[in-house]
Amino acid sequence: MVKALTITGFGINCEAETGAAYTNAGAESTVIHFNELLSGTYNLFDYDILNFPGGFSFGDDIASGKVMSNKLKFRIMKNGKTFIQELEAYIDNGHFVLGICNGFQMLVQLGLLPNISGTYTPETSLERNNSGKFEDRWVYCKVNPHTKSPFLKNIDVLPLPVRHGEGRLVIKDDATRKKINEQNLNALIYCDKDGNVTEQYPQNPNGAEFSIAGLTDPSGHVFGLMPHPEAYLSPQNNPDWAKLARHSQTPDRRHTGQVIFDNITEHILSKKQILKY
């Protein structure tokens, strides 16, 4: 059984949908308040994947994900380690981490994405949308065919909703830009409905560099994205579902956000089965 842990608290508000996505994928889903990890009530290493859902942690009062990322970085756990130390060991031991929207912002602030240097030093940032407003719309995302991320296996183009005010990915410098492209860490890219990558608004809803909607780290074990796959677990979540149904074009789960959770659950399960023999 694959065990998925999803944290909530402090303004995170998409934990129920994220937990449901793993249940749908056949995983054992546990949703807890972040303080329950810090206190030692739950052990991070009992779980295969840790999820940072979307929401508005600490009201985005300073910058999206900034306060929560500092809590993750500096808070001392009951075992005497900081949470970021625990998280580094968790990743180094082959576990997986997913950050969605506000969760992606946290991972970027922490330096877990893209983490080209391996030192957990921030190399990118998520800034205010070029439109100057909160974007609440559906977009199309194209998967980089060369990505190592098991989250995105066998996906080409996927429609997903976005809802954020600070989703514009800004990259530290030219050297980092080059390495992101060379190592195919730009795992998910905004595109038009035909899969053509574009920087044009509103297809690129925030003005992100290279139209990046999601990043992975070099190992492929850490993945973060601004769109919300957990908000598209059923064809009925699609705003055009009635029209699609009338034309017998209702998408199956492989063409909804559910596929990302199915992929990682299947990948972890296959790894566990190999280790048994």
Supply the DSSP symbol for 77.
P
pTM greater than 0.75: yes
Residue ranges making up the domain that contains 265: 3-275
d(CA 37, CA 42): 5
| Catalytic residue, candidates 101, 141, 221, 267 | 101
| Catalytic residue, candidates 95, 164, 221, 228 | 228
pLDDT < 70 regions, the chain? 59-64, 275-277
| CA dihedral sign of residues 182, 187, 190, 191 | positive
Q: Does residue 141 carry a catalytic annotation?
A: no
Tell me the per-residue pLDDT of 83-109, one tens digit each, with 9 for 90 and over. Answer: 999 999 999 999 999 999 999 999 999
The helix/strand count (H/E) of the chain reads as 8, 11
Tokens of 44: 């991070």
| Catalytic residue, candidates 15, 166, 230, 267 | 230
The continuous run of DSSP H or E covering 216 comes out as: strand 212-216
Q: Is 87 exposed, middle or buried (0-12, 13-18, 19+ CB in 10 A)?
A: buried
pLDDT value of position 176? 97
d(CA 56, CA 64): 7
Tokens of 15: 């934990």
Number of domain units in the chain: 1
CATH number of the domain that residue 172 is part of: 3.40.50.880
